[in-house]
Structure 1
């Protein structure tokens, strides 16, 4: 078991930050589960931190879609990034900027919560999605509700969701034996790429000899996560 370099970089950035981005302890999740860790991606809230997060996202995207942003990219490669309001808005802009810095020019767009009835109108801002292959950007897929809603926005705008990239895969079971991420992949027919997985955090803890936290994470994984 090993972690990617970009997963390790984000874990270490989160733990070295003055802000409690990644914490270990006892946390009650929205699902009601008691988790031994909590990753708050909303706290990547400075220029330096957002730059680190965008770089890790770009690494993960380029690993999954090596041709993205190239003129001769294959038919399966996404051409536009979509960030659902509100968390996805700064993420998608920062990631598109980081990809451009690496010579990959990719369009990006996001939606408003409410439709605008003046000016250009509508609920979409940025690159048009009609007829485009779209990569949805999100922080964490918990129940999958937000991703399903984002997918509906893409469809309504005439785009095709060909992939999803998220900051963290908690690797937890959904409604059945599959993980929530696997359920989303199956339902939407789109691959989910993750910057960090729960197993990456566990591997990092093991490599640092943080045995109490390893034990707590392992117990949680056994109870709630897919094998």
Structure 2
């Protein structure tokens, strides 16, 4: 696990964003961990989160012209990442969408800069890929090109019922469907590496085995 990924997992755990126990996912599974980006809810943690997004995007080495944040969590993530990028010497425009189109004032469903050039979609995680699909459609309809998706955590998890699991993860399916890379700040393997460290607190160590078992059952090979 490289240093940035290591630091991000530590940050997410310390912030209470990455939690351990028993949580029911959208797919109805009982997961031993849960990632809630909405808990990055003050200025300091949001600023640090934006640093991780911005640095991961720059480290990926892809060409991009602007950022797009799908409503609702993506709005804050894209705007904060734009601020962090500017602090790193890369000032780029950003935009986001409304859930309902506005029929007065400037109208429409897009807020912020005009969608053009190569656009990075920024979100927290990819579950069913719905927000990515909607974002890709909006970007292409404006004549721009979606060039990547940037997320915080890749759960590396297959979808479907236990007796009919998908061949790939939600992240892999999105990448294949739209022909664009999905960049993640961290993933499930990084989390397991973190929990395996000797200096992890005694309160977290018991979760290593349940998460490893969950990965064995639902994770991509």
Tell me, in whole angstroms, the C-alpha distance in 1 between the residues paired with 2:159 and 2:25: 14
2:17 equivalent to 1:21: yes
Counterparts of 1:213 and 1:169 in 2: how far apart (Å)? 18
Of residues 33, 42, 56, the one that matches 2:29 is 33
Check the 8 A contact 1:165/1:192 in 2, yes or no. Answer: yes
**Following the alignment from structure 1 to structure 2, what is the Cα–Cα distance between the partners of residues 5 and 59?**
12
TM-score by length of 2: 0.91
Runs of 4+ aligned residues of structure 1 deviating over 4 Å after TM superposition are none
Kept in 2: contact 1:10–1:52 (CA 8 A):
no
Structure 1 residue 15, shift from structure 2 partner: 2.1
Q: 3-state SS of the aligned residue for 1:26?
A: strand
CA distance in 1 between partners of 2:80 and 2:122 (Å)? 11
Q: Which residue is 1:225 aligned to?
A: 219
1:103 to 68, 89, 93: 89
Indicate conservation of the 8 Å contact 1:81/1:134, yes or no: yes
- Of 51, 54, 60 in structure 2, the residue corresponding to residue 64 of structure 1 is 60
Q: Given the alignment, which residue of 152, 168, 171 partners 2:156?
A: 171
Q: Displacement of 1:201 after TM fit? A: 0.7
Pairing 1:59-138 to 2, within 5 Å after superposition = 59-65=55-61, 77-130=63-116, 132-138=117-123
- After superposition, give the CA deviation of every residue in 1:102-158 in whole Å (9 maximum; x if it has no partner): 11011110011111122221111111114x111000001011111111111111222
Structure 1 length-normalised TM: 0.89
Q: Which runs of 5+ in 1 are unaligned?
A: 67-76
Q: SS at the partner of 1:13? A: helix
Q: Which residue of 1 aligns with 2:137?
A: 152
CA distance in 2, matches of 1:35, 1:129: 37
Report the alpha carbon displacement of residue 7 of structure 1 after superposing the two structures with TM: 2.2
Once the 2 structures are TM-superposed, how far is the Cα of residue 211 of structure 1 from its aligned partner?
A: 4.2
Render the CA deviation track for 1:63-91: whole Å, top value 9, x for unaligned.
Answer: 1126xxxxxxxxxx110100011111111
**Local SS of the residue matching 1:36:** strand
Would you say how many aligned residue pairs link Structure 1 and Structure 2? Answer: 212
The match for 1:183 among 151, 173, 177 is: 173
Q: CA RMSD in A?
A: 1.4
